[in-house]
Amino acid sequence: MPKKLILITGGCRSGKSQYAIELAKKLHKKTTVYLATMTFKDAEMQERIKAHQQSRPQEWQTVEEGRDIDTVLMNLKGLSEVVLIDCFTSLASNLLLELQEQDKVLGRIESLLKVIADSDLTVIAVTNEVGAGIVPDNKLGRVFRDVAGCVNQLVAQAADEVYLMVAGIPVKIK
C-alpha cells in the first residue's frame, strides 16, 4: 500500500470520524492505530470519548497523546501501516494552551508534517472547520479559530487527498 496523507474536514457532527474509520478499515492491512488527541476530562467530554472508543474496531490499537504525536508516529515504524489521527483541532488547542503563541503551534505542526512525510505510514487526519461559524466573543476563542484555520491549511497543503464532510457525505476537494 503506498503511503498517503488523507485529510478529512468538516463541521461538528458532519460524519468526519465515522468516514475516517470506514476509510481506515478499507486500507487496513496489518495494524491500524487510532491516535486520539483529546485530553479534556470533564464528564461530558468523557462521554464523547467513550462514544468514539465504541465506534472503532476493538482490534485497533489506541494511543492517547495530546501533544507529542510526532514521537508516537516515529515509534510506529514497522509496527503499523495506517494511523488515524483524531483530531488536529484538539491537537491545535492543546498546543496553543501549552505554547501560547500561534507561530510556535504552527512550527510544531510543520515538524509533525515532516515526520509524516518521512514515514512509511498512511495517515488519515481528522480536523474541524471552525472558521465558518460566528466570530468568538473573546480573544482566546478568536486566536484558537485563527490557529485552527492555519493548521488546517498546512495539513491540506501537505495532504494527498482532502475530503469535506457535509451532512455525512464526503466531498473530495483534493
Q: For residues 151 and 86, give the distance between their C-alpha atoms in angstroms, rounded to a whole number.
A: 14
Tell me how far apart the alpha carbons of residues 128 and 149 are, in angstroms, rounded to a whole number.
Answer: 9
pLDDT digits (tens, 9 = 90+) for 53-90: 666 667 888 888 888 999 999 998 888 889 999 999 99
pLDDT, position 2: 65
CB 85 within 8 A of CB 113: no
Over residues 125-153, the mean pLDDT reads: 92
29 or 12, greater pLDDT: 12
Return the pLDDT at 45: 65
28 is catalytic: no
What's the rounded mean pLDDT across residues 89-94?
94
**Residue 31 host element (H or E):** none
Task: Pick the more confident residue, 168 or 54.
Answer: 168
Say if residue 42's pLDDT is above 80.
no
The confidence band for 170, taking pLDDT boundaries of 50, 70 and 90, is very high
Nearest-10 crossing angle of helices 43-55, 16-27? 30
Domain formed by 5-172, architecture: 3-Layer(aba) Sandwich (3.40)
Statement: residue 139 has pLDDT above 60: yes
What is the rounded CA–CA span in Å between residue 42 and residue 40? 6
Segment 21-41 mean pLDDT: 83
pLDDT in the model for residue 27 = 86
Over 90: is that where the pLDDT of 41 sits? no
The secondary structure of residue 86, as a DSSP letter, is E
Q: Which of 52, 87, 148, 155 is catalytic?
A: 52
Report d(CA 24, CA 122) in Å as an integer. 9
Stretch 105-116: mean pLDDT, rounded? 97
**Mean of the per-residue pLDDT values for the chain?**
89
Query: What integer pLDDT is reported at residue 72 of this predicted model?
Result: 93
pLDDT in tens, 11-26: 988 999 999 999 999 9
Q: Which residues contact residue 135 at a Cβ distance below 8 angstroms, ignoring those fewer than 6 apart?
A: 142, 145
Residue 6 has pLDDT above 80, yes or no: yes
